[in-house]
Structure 1
Amino acid sequence: MTLPVPSPISDGDRERVAELLQRACGEGRLTLEEFSVRVGAVWAAEDEAALARATDGLAPTPVVGSSTTVDKVVTVFSQSQRRGRWRLRGRGLRAVTVFGSTHLDLRHVLSGEDVIEISGACVFGEFKVIVPEGVEVELTGPSVFTNQEFRLAAVPRVPGTPEVRVRVTTWFSNVEVVSARPELPSE
């Protein structure tokens, strides 16, 4: 008795599934991190079964999360954190921090854009951006008496993930852009 040999898949098959996942991410059915993991599996798939597993459990409707979209974060003498599932309005986010701390965790952000742009200023503060591993990130902007730390995992870019562009003007501040593995689910 011989076992059936799985049929090979084409790049067109992979692209079709990657586009399906990208639409699901744009509609809020997948976070950026979930999309990143699934689309990586699509490009690594060697047969139809592996390709099908990349779309397993894809929710038909958006998952419960923040219905408020965010386009601006202003922090003055305080601390602001955006973590978990949250929705980005459009392509850009404006962040201003003065004598405070702003942390933006993009691992579960909902956005269907090809490029996510974060711009703003940080004066006497701390500004941190966390992205999923495998996402391309660019950090630019003038800095004066500022410590900048750019720490991305040495992993290949996951095809189909958006590019994140961070342009922040900083004075007497600490700026950190890091990639992180997926968070483990809470028990």
Structure 2
Amino acid sequence: MTVPVPAPISDGDRERVAELLQRACGEGRLTLEEFSVRVGAVWAAEDEGALLRATDGLAPTPVVGSSHTVDQVVTVFSQSRRRGRWRLRGRGLRTFTVFGSTEFDLRHVLSGEDVIEISGACVFGEFKVIVPEGVEVDMTGPNVFSNQEFRLAPVPRVPGTPEVRVRVTTWFSNVEVKSARPELPAS
């Protein structure tokens, strides 16, 4: 009795599945973190079964909580946090923080864009961006009497994930950009 050997998969097969996952992310059926993990599995797949597992459980429609869109956040003498499932209205996110704290956790953000741009200013405040491991980040912007900390995990970029561009002008502030491992699902 011979055991059938699975046929090898092509880069074209991987690209088709990666595009399907990217569309699902843009439609709100996957978060950036879920997309990052699944598309990583697609490029590591050695057979058709692994490709199919990367799309297992893909929600047919967006889940509750994904319709809250954001394109601008202003924080004055207060604190703003964007965590959990939230959607970027477009490619860019504008932010302005004065005597406050602003945090964007992009691990569960919903966006189908190839590039996510975060731009703005932080004066006498704190500004923090968290991305999933394997997402490329470019941080620029003038830094006046401020601290900028850039901590990405030393892991390869996950193919198909968007590039995150952070351009924040800071005065007397603390700016942090870091990557974090995927959160474990609640059981």
Given the two structures, how large is their TM-score scaled by the length of structure 2?
Answer: 0.98
Q: Helix, strand or coil for the counterpart of 2:18?
A: helix
Alignment-derived partner of residue 40 in structure 2? 40
CA distance in 1: counterparts of 2:117 and 2:14, whole angstroms: 27
User: Equivalences for 1:40-59 in 2 at 5 Å?
Assistant: 40-59=40-59
Which one-letter code corresponds to 1:150 in the other structure?
A: F
CA distance in 2: counterparts of 1:121 and 1:58, whole angstroms: 37
Shift of the alpha carbon at 1:44? 0.1
Alignment-derived partner of residue 65 in structure 1? 65
Runs of 4+ in 1 over 3 A off after TM superposition: none
Alignment-derived partner of residue 163 in structure 2? 163
Q: Is the 8 A contact 2:104 2:128 kept in 1?
A: yes
| Structure 1: runs of 5 or more not aligned | none
User: Equivalences for 1:3-42 in 2 at 5 Å?
Assistant: 3-42=3-42
Q: Helix, strand or coil for the counterpart of 1:149?
A: strand
Aligned positions, number: 187
Alignment-derived partner of residue 180 in structure 1? 180
CA distance in 2: counterparts of 1:147 and 1:95, whole angstroms: 18
Shift of the alpha carbon at 1:6? 1.2
CA distance in 1: counterparts of 2:125 and 2:145, whole angstroms: 11
CA distance in 2: counterparts of 1:112 and 1:99, whole angstroms: 33
CA distance in 2: counterparts of 1:109 and 1:158, whole angstroms: 16
CA distance in 2: counterparts of 1:66 and 1:20, whole angstroms: 19
| Structure 2: runs of 5 or more not aligned | none
CA distance in 2: counterparts of 1:69 and 1:183, whole angstroms: 22
Given the two structures, how large is their TM-score scaled by the length of structure 1?
Answer: 0.98
Q: Helix, strand or coil for the counterpart of 1:139?
A: strand
CA distance in 1: counterparts of 2:124 and 2:186, whole angstroms: 34
Percent identical among aligned pairs is 90
Structure 1 position 137 matched with structure 2 position 137: yes
Alignment-derived partner of residue 90 in structure 1? 90
Q: Helix, strand or coil for the counterpart of 2:63?
A: coil
Which one-letter code corresponds to 2:160 in the other structure?
A: G
Shift of the alpha carbon at 1:2? 2.1
Alignment-derived partner of residue 152 in structure 1? 152
Render the CA deviation track for 1:9-32: whole Å, top value 9, x for unaligned: 000000000000000000000000
Which one-letter code corresponds to 2:143 in the other structure?
A: S
